[in-house]
Amino acid sequence: LSLLSKRMFNLGSESAFEVLEKAKKLEAEGKNIIHFEIGEPDFDTPRNIIEAGKTALDEGYTHYTAAQGYLPLREAVTQYALEYKNIKTNPEEVVIVPGGKPIMFYTMTALINPGDEVIYPSPGFPIYESLIRFYGGIPVPLAIREENDFRLDVEELKSKLTTKTKLLLINSPANPTGGVLSEEDIDEIANVLIGKNIFVLSDEIYDRMIYDGSTKSIASIPEMKEWTIVLDGFSKTYAMTGWRLGYGIMNKTLAQKVTDLMINTNSCTAAFAQVAGIEALTGPQHAVDEMKSEFFNRREIIVDGLNGIKGFKCIKSPGAFYAFPNIKDTGMRSSELSDYLMNHAGVAVLSGSSFGAFGEGYLRFSYATSTENIKIALKRIDEAMKKL
Ligand code: PLP
């Protein structure tokens, strides 16, 4: 083990994959498990996108593309960014990568020196803290509180800023809470940052899944444009997790550096997947709306159901496909309760603490599973909780 580089000891993980592994083991032993642990839409990729991918293979999109990404896809991203995010950009500021995660990895590689402070949401996507530590940055968690509808508190953000702050990570709608930063929140955050030479990595991967209210991209504010890296992709919006397709929008200098990183690692993103991505962005969008309305229905069922279970209190978060119930009344740690539910109710969920210290006292349910499964799981959890 000592032969490994020092930085490897700072790398974290994502517990969704570990819990899925555990659940699969129990399933192999014949147990029935209902899955709420993994954050991916249970829908198939829309048919028109699959057909575009198949046609692309037949037409010979089986070779390298430009490392920055196939130009027609980068053009489609700029159109999409204008239409859905009100961001004025151009193909030189877009980099196509294999999924949303590589944008986190590459932009932090390009920006973080040891000792730089990075402010990130807690609870938040675990890969954020993992990468900050990996690059020797100083992780500065910003509490995301239920009392504040799982939105960050701008006054608290102000109190975390120092001369060493290099980067702020925001995620709206958020994993794991489903919280959404309002348009006013984004304006206030921008007002705090303008003129301070601090970058923002804005993770907008769930921005088509908002059920109440609205958010906006911080990159749509002209003074923030140069300082923002927008992360988005196809995994959640178009149910394309396995295609590995995502993108970043950032200033031209950074885009060139991220392209250099692509040349050093992936060469490029799979050509046929990029062609399918054009169809996703420019083709009919009704499948996205249908998925959203199905998630909306499930949210009603799961949140109402959880609120009827002893020890659970759950607010109806406005975005993504996560319910994040407060389980403090059970008196159990979140990891204890998630283990108990796996073993005694056959329900796989994630502990709030796996999303950072401020996630303790909560569980995350990804409601990317059928309403039928949700109803069975609620019944099983109710019964298991009564036995405690
Ligand atoms: N950002 C957030 C907040 C996520 O929850 C996820 C996936 O779980 C990603 C980014 C990464 O998505 P991808 O699978 O496209 O890398």
Nearest to 37 by CA among 348, 359, 352, 353: 348
Task: Provide the 3-class DSSP secondary structure of residue 109.
Answer: helix
Annotate 22-74 with DSSP letters as a single string. HHHHHHHTT---EE-SS-S--SPPPHHHHHHHHHHHHTT--S---TT--HHHH
Report which ligand 1 atom has the smallest distance to the Cα of 102: 16
Write out pLDDT tens, residues 206-241: 999 999 999 999 999 999 999 999 999 999 999 999
Report which ligand 1 atom has the smallest distance to the Cα of 101: 16
HSE at residue 309, side-chain half, CA atoms within 13 A, is 27
pTM tops 0.90, yes or no: yes
Distance between CA atoms of 353 and 364, rounded to whole angstroms? 10
Residue 69 CB–ligand 1 contact under 6 Å? no
Amino acid 17: pLDDT: 86
DSSP state of 266: T
Tell me whether 0.95 is exceeded by the ipTM.
Answer: yes
Mean pLDDT along residues 6-11: 92
Amino acid 1: pLDDT: 61
Amino acid 172: pLDDT: 98
Q: Could you tell me the two tokens for 149?
A: 């509808």
Residue 126 CB–ligand 1 contact under 6 Å? no
The domains found in the chain, sorted by start residue, are: 6-45+286-386 (3.90.1150.10), 47-282 (3.40.640.10)
Report which ligand 1 atom has the smallest distance to the Cα of 320: 5
Answer yes or no: are the C-beta atoms of 218 and 190 closer than 8 Å: yes
Q: Could you tell me the two tokens for 379?
A: 């019944």
What are the two backbone dihedrals, phi and then psi, of residue 97, each rounded to the nearest 5 degrees? -135, 165
DSSP state of 318: S
Write out pLDDT tens, residues 325-365: 999 999 999 999 999 999 999 999 999 999 999 999 999 99
Choose one of 15, 95, 235 to mutate for the ligand 1 pocket test, by most ligand atoms within 8 angstroms of C-beta.
235
Report which ligand 1 atom has the smallest distance to the Cα of 16: 8
Q: Tell me how far CA of residue 213 lies from CA of 182, 208, 319, in angstroms.
A: 7, 12, 9
Is residue 108 scored above 90 in pLDDT?
A: yes
Q: b/e map of 331-349 (b: 16 or more CB within 10 Å)?
A: ebebbebbebbbeebbbbb
Q: Whose CA is nearest to atom 12 of ligand 1?
A: 100
Nearest to 99 by CA among 123, 63, 125: 125
Q: Residues of the chain with pLDDT > 70: what percent?
A: 100
Amino acid 171: pLDDT: 98
Q: Could you tell me the two tokens for 227?
A: 């300082």
Residue 99 CB–ligand 1 contact under 6 Å? yes
| Ligand 1 centroid distance, CA of 12 (Å) | 15
| Ligand 1 centroid distance, CA of 97 (Å) | 13
Amino acid 18: pLDDT: 87
| Beta bridge mates, 144 | 152
